[in-house]
Structure 1
Amino acid sequence: MGLIRLIIESGGWLLVPIVLLSIAACAIVVERLWRLLPMRARFAAVRSDFHEALMTGGAEAAWARLDGTTPLGRVLRAGLAVRSHGPELMRVAGLDAAQREVPALERGLGVLLVATQVAPLIGLLGTVIGLIEAFQAASQGDEFTTKLLAGGVYKALAATVAGLLIAIPAFLAYGGLSGLVARLSDQLEHAATDLPLIVKGA
C-alpha cells in the first residue's frame, strides 16, 4: 500500500493518462473475454446442429437451420449459398467469409497493444521530468545533500513503476486474447475448408 500511495502522491498530471490507459485496457479485456470465451461452446453447438440438419434434411435444411448471428454460422451459410456452383467455390466463399469475421474477433486488441507500449513511455517521461526537477532543486539549494537527491529520484521512479504496472498485465492479456482469437479464426477456416467434403458425404 505504501508504494501505491507514493505513486498516487508523486505521479502528478502524468498519472492521468496512465489511469485512463488502465481503465481502457481493463474494459477491453473484460469485454473480449465476455464475448470470446463463450464463442467456443457456441461453435460446437452450431457444428452439431449443422451436421444433424445436413444428415436429416440435406443442404437446404442445413442452410435454413444455421444460426446467422454467430461467426461460424455465417461462414457455413456463405459456403452453402453457392453450393450449386461446385465445391471449390463453396470453399472460397467460406474462406472469404471467415476472413471477414477476423476484424470483429480482434476488436479492441490494437488499443490493448498500444497501452502496453505507451504506458511505460509515459512513466519514463514522468521519471525524466522528476529527475530534472530533483537536480534543479538541488542545484538551487544552499546545501546539496544525498538525501535530497535520493528523495527526488525515489519519487521520480514511481512514475515508471506506474507505467509498468499497467503495461505488464496488459501485455499478458494481449497475448492470451490474441491466442484465443487465432484459435477461433483457425476453426472458422477449417470449417470453410471442410465444408465441401462434409456436404458431399452427407
Structure 2
Amino acid sequence: MFLLQSDSINNIIPDTVATAVTQTAKAAEELRFIDLLVKGGWVMIPLGILFFLGLIIFIERYITIRKASRDESNLMVQVKQNILSGKVDAAIALCRNSNTPLGRMLQKGVTRIGRPIKDIEGAIENIGKLEVSKLEKNISILGIIAGIAPMFGFVGTISGVIRIFYNISLSDNISMGIIAGGLYEKMITSAAGLAIGIVAYIGYHILNIMVDRVILRMETDAVEFIDLLEEPGR
C-alpha cells in the first residue's frame, strides 16, 4: 500500500512540474513585447512615430556633426604657410577641398585678404553663423519630442482610466478581468512615453554638446587666422 502511494506521488510530482513549466512557457510566449505595445492602444501610434523620427534625426545629425568635428589642425597649418608665402590661391584651394565648416570659413577669410580686418572678421563671422545653423538643423525637433512624448503617455494614462470606468459601467461589476485592459493601456503608454522622452532628451543634449565643441574649435581657428593677418608686415 505504501509503495503504491509512493509510486503515485512520484508520478504526480513530475506531471505537476511539467504542467507548471508548460504554463509558464505559454504565459511568457503570450506576453510578448509586440503584444504589450498593441495593448497600449491608439496612443502607441503617435509614440511610435515620435520614436522613429527622433532616431532618424539623431543618427543623421550625429554623422553630420562627427564629420564636421574631425581634426583640421593640418589644414590650418597649411593655410598659414601658404599665406605667409604669398600663395593665396593655393590656400583657397586647400580650404575648398577640405569641404568642412572650418574650411569654408577660412576660405571666406582668405578671399577677403587685402581688405580691412573688420571686413574680414565680419565675413568670417557670417559664414561661421551659417555653418553653425546647418549643424543645428533639426536638433530642436529632438527637444520637442523629449517634451511631448511623456504628454502622449499621460494621454494614454487618462484614456486607460476612462476605459476602466467605462467597462465597469457597462458590466456593473468590478473584477480584475474588466480592469486589466485599462491598466495595460495606462501603464504601457506611460512607460513608453517616458522612455521615448528620456532617450530624446539625452540625444538632444549629446548633439548640442558636439555642436558646442565644433563652435569652440571654429572660433579658436578664426581668432588664430585674424591674428595671422594682423602680424607686422601683413
CA distance in 2, matches of 1:3, 1:86: 69
Match of 1:130 among 124, 141, 160: 160
C-alpha displacement of 1:99: 0.7
Which is greater in Rg? 2
The question of 1:32 aligning with 2:32 is answered no
CA distance in 2, matches of 1:121, 1:4: 22
Partner of 2:90: 61
Residues 92 and 107 of structure 2 are in contact (CA less than 8 Å); yes or no, is this contact kept in structure 1? yes
DSSP-derived class of the 2:42 partner = helix
Distance 1:6 1:124, change over 3 A: farther
Letter in structure 1 aligned against 2:165: F
Letter in structure 2 aligned against 1:43: E
Cα-to-partner distance string for 1:10-65 (whole Å, 9 max, x where unaligned): 12222111111111111111111212113222533432432343344444432232
DSSP-derived class of the 2:52 partner = helix
Taking structure 2 as the reference length, the TM-score comes to 0.76
Structure 2 unaligned runs (5+)?
1-27
The question of 1:46 aligning with 2:75 is answered yes
- Relative contact order higher in (CA < 8 Å, ≥ 6 apart): 1
Larger CA deviation: 130-139 vs 171-180: 130-139
Partner of 1:192: 222
Residues 7 and 162 of structure 1 are in contact (CA less than 8 Å); yes or no, is this contact kept in structure 2? no
Distance 1:40 1:101, change over 3 A: same
Residues 168 and 178 of structure 2 are in contact (CA less than 8 Å); yes or no, is this contact kept in structure 1? yes
Cα-to-partner distance string for 1:114-160 (whole Å, 9 max, x where unaligned): 11112111111111111101111113323223664365224312111
Matches within 5 A, 1:37-186: 37-67=66-96, 69-145=99-175, 148-149=178-179, 152-186=182-216
DSSP-derived class of the 1:156 partner = helix
CA distance in 2, matches of 1:147, 1:116: 34
CA distance in 2, matches of 1:6, 1:161: 15
CA distance in 2, matches of 1:16, 1:75: 43
Taking structure 1 as the reference length, the TM-score comes to 0.87
Cα-to-partner distance string for 1:81-135 (whole Å, 9 max, x where unaligned): 2221122221121111101111110112022111111211111111111110111
CA distance in 1, matches of 2:202, 2:63: 17
DSSP-derived class of the 2:174 partner = coil
CA distance in 2, matches of 1:183, 1:93: 21
Higher relative helix content: 1
Larger CA deviation: 138-147 vs 21-30: 138-147
C-alpha displacement of 1:77: 1.4
Distance 1:130 1:3, change over 3 A: farther
Letter in structure 2 aligned against 1:78: K
Structure 1 unaligned runs (5+)?
none
Identity %: 25
